[in-house]
Chain A
Amino acid sequence: MKVLVPVKRVVDSNVKVRAKADETGVDLANVKMAMNPFDEIAVEEAVRLKEKGVATEVVVVSCGPAICQETLRTALAVGADRAILVDAGDVELQPLAVAKILKALVAKEAPQLVVAGKQAIDDDANQVGQMLAALQGWPQVTFASKVDVADGKAKVTREIDGGLETLEVPLPAVITADLRLNEPRYAKLPDVMKAKKKPLETTTPAELGVDVAPRLKTLKVSEPPKRQGGGKVADVADLVNRLKNEAKVI
């Protein structure tokens, strides 16, 4: 069974991003980039499925500018077998376009399972996995915290408001990874070296016959309203007094 994992190159989660002064976007000059944290979890899960003998091959895909190769190499270093770069140049790829690219790749690669991160931490859209499942007519299990694959089915526990639910879906299917699915491993240096020799194929949206024109136009990107904070209280008695008499919230 082949597993396909889409990975996105995003701003490192520790960077505090700011809107540009002219409100045309966010300032990403010289900012540290990394693999989207939920995609790291998705790659880890796919690699574990291979280690358990459930999956035979893990193929990672990244859509974006050529530099997304770095993200693909990171995934190869932790155990993915092969990578596909969908080089879209500087075109902004929105979730529906990414889902369509992945659909074109599913047609070529015929995976039985797609494991994606639940959300990318840049646009915070939380859409691609569900959209791909829709375009394929496949079942989906979002926000997974436990995955068991056997006999052509996936038994997946997912995080819902107020607790957990366990779903069973026939394969092929799309699963999106939540935080507690696993703890991704770190790549060891020899594996980083080996990853450089693993196959990485490049294609483009045009070669895949996918129209990636953005559907949403960003009119402006602005700073959120600033919160006035920094107030201190002397002790617990002062705190209780302020909450009761100043803020009047208790």
Chain B
Amino acid sequence: MQAQAQPQRAATKDLVTTERPAPRIEWLRIRNLTKRFGDLAALRDFDLDVRGGEFISLLGPSGCGKTTALNCLAGLLEPDDGEIELDGESVVRISPERRRFGMVFQNYALFPHLTVGRNVAFGLEMQRVPKARIGERVDRVLTLVRLGDQRDKYPAQLSGGQQQRIAIARAVVTEPRLMLMDEPLSNLDAKLRLEMRTEIRRLHQALGLTTIYVTHDQEEALSLSDRIVLMRQGLIRQVGTPREVYLEPASAYAANFLGARNLLPVRVVAAAGDVQIETGSGVTLTGTPRGDLAPGDEAIAVIRPEHISLLAQGQDGVNTVPGLVETVEFVGNGIEVSVRSGLTGEIIARTEDLWRQGDGVALRLPAERLLVFPAEDAGETI
């Protein structure tokens, strides 16, 4: 991957600028950003510090406030409260057309009455860049997104992926101080989505644009971002690198949203060092505590399917429970097995062995991977 990206990066560097792309801003600071729609607080006390050149994803389900946050940043929505500062300059009171930010929309929002070339030139014309320079820069950016030969076509004549590239080209050609992307891949089919994901990563590396990227797709966020901001109901729930958010979720909600599909309601038995928990059906397990837990507390135990070992029936040991295979799904790079066990509900495990429906198995849940969160999260996770 790295080896492949390297030569491309060298090639595009020449096209864009001769020197190494330095971020156009040093830092972005967002404080207390709040937006209400009537009684609904769509965004509450949004705080974030971004370094120049960083790629940040706002991740969460629909209605979590991520698009509201992005629109407030863009200036398209007016926050009720809060401060946005770029290198010491407050931009909250500046209208969107004067913020010099770039934005890519979910439906691309290409101007249907203008050719590709005129679409891309639009921002430069607004900046009153001399005509000759405009042509030059449009050509260069179209080559960068590999659509140099589509200049005179109209948007309706292009495929979805091509339209997306033009939308990106139109935003980056003005050399924006901040790049905002609103679910840019969600209108594409699965294969194109992967391709464009790589493309966005490549452009980010080539141009060094500070980027805020909104998505509801955890894979997209994990693969693209330097840091992920996980949101829910208008609040930031966790900020961290993809690795941190994936491996060290701050809450049962975070764990669940990032693919930990097994959530067990449990009761804490002992909380010294590793936590001892008891499931509804009386099985006792050992887990790793996350947050304040005292004996007798309701709690949620979370584990990823790939961290569960499926063993042959009859094996026992710490955190090992017997079960019966209910369904087997081949998912390409592995097999997902749903097991009915003494634990509450079904447990989904990921394996490479071929189990069959009705097989008796033993589930081993490693204590260091079984994260136990206080139950106050419980209501939100479902």
**Do A and B originate from a single complex?**
no
